[in-house]
Amino acid sequence: PRVDYLKTLALINGTATDGLGDINISNIQLALSTSANFANCPAECSYWTWAGSTWTYGSEHRITATKDGTADWSKWKQDANFPAWSALNGKKVQVQVWGIDTAGNETAVIYKTTFTVDTSNAVSTVTFPVNSAAFSSLTLASGTVTDSPGSGVDPANVKVAIAKESDSSYWDPTAAGGVGAFVNSGCSGSACVVWSTAAYYVAGSSWGYTQLNTANFTDDRSYRVMVRAADNVGNVPVITDADID
């Protein structure tokens, strides 16, 4: 991986060669560590023991990778025995890779990367309309969305849905020739929900949704506004909502 944040990691792979060709590489070794100060590893690092499935402090642990479909080590991978990433949320993790040739010579670290584990959801709220408010018309729904600390809000994935509670139908701004209508009446399950993209504003960490045409809403009914925002590594939060009466 060459990224700042990851939600999970199930594969590390790469290529390798020495000065005399791939066949002179005996094996590839990897280490996985966490620390607040990687410059002082191994003394100030916790290392994943791989087969032991535990972390140990101050003592480097390595695992030998496997060949990735090749007779030599020109391609290699590690695809098993990773830690439970949810337990590392917010921690920095470093991957190091070494090559060993057939003469027993060990390279300096041939690859090193550091990333932060992010398994937390973005937090979104509806601030307007306020819960249980009554309106004769409505042109805007808005709120806040944050993902700090974390990988940040994915601006293309702040989604809004509006449900009519009397018949479990959902507002589709593209229906009825583009003027909008409630669809999927009586439908149940997440597949019935119609999600529309809201505008995300980095300044203020806010969102706004204007694809509303309350002329096509039924009077004296309760409506529920829901917002769902994903972050940049694909964490999707529990829906937060407000009611419109």
User: Of 168, 242, 234, which Cα lies nearest the Cα of 3?
Assistant: 234
Average pLDDT, the chain: 92
Which single residue is written with the structure tokens 């909008």? Answer: 180
Residue 162 to residues 1, 30, 159, 198, 231: CA-CA distances in angstroms? 38, 49, 10, 12, 21
Give the per-residue pLDDT at 22: 53
Dist CA 39 CA 238 (whole Å): 38
Number of Cβ atoms within 10 Å of the Cβ of 209: 23
Determine the average pLDDT of the residues in 17-26: 68
Dist CA 79 CA 12 (whole Å): 7
CA 178 to chain centre: 33
DSSP state of 106: B
Q: Is the pLDDT of residue 179 over 80?
A: yes
Instruction: Give 195-238 pLDDT, tens digit per residue.
Output: 999 999 998 999 999 999 999 999 999 999 999 999 999 999 87
Instruction: Give 117-129 pLDDT, tens digit per residue.
Output: 999 999 999 999 9
Determine the average pLDDT of the residues in 73-77: 92
Contact 222, 245 (CB under 8 A): yes
- Could you tell me which residue, 241 or 54, shows the higher pLDDT? 54
User: Of 153, 146, 160, 132, which Cα lies nearest the Cα of 226?
Assistant: 160
- What residues contact 192, with CB distance under 8 A and at least 6 apart? 168, 170, 184
Q: Is the pLDDT of residue 12 over 60?
A: yes
The predicted model scores a pTM of 0.84
Determine the average pLDDT of the residues in 143-166: 94
Instruction: Give 25-48 pLDDT, tens digit per residue.
Output: 889 999 999 999 999 999 999 999
Print the SS3 string covering 169-229.
EEEECCHHHHCCEEECCCCCCHHHCCCEECEEECCCCEEEECCCCHHHCCCCCCEEEEEEE
- What residues contact 37, with CB distance under 8 A and at least 6 apart? 44
Give the per-residue pLDDT at 144: 96
Angle at alpha carbon of residue 37, lines to 39 and 47, rounded to 5°: 90
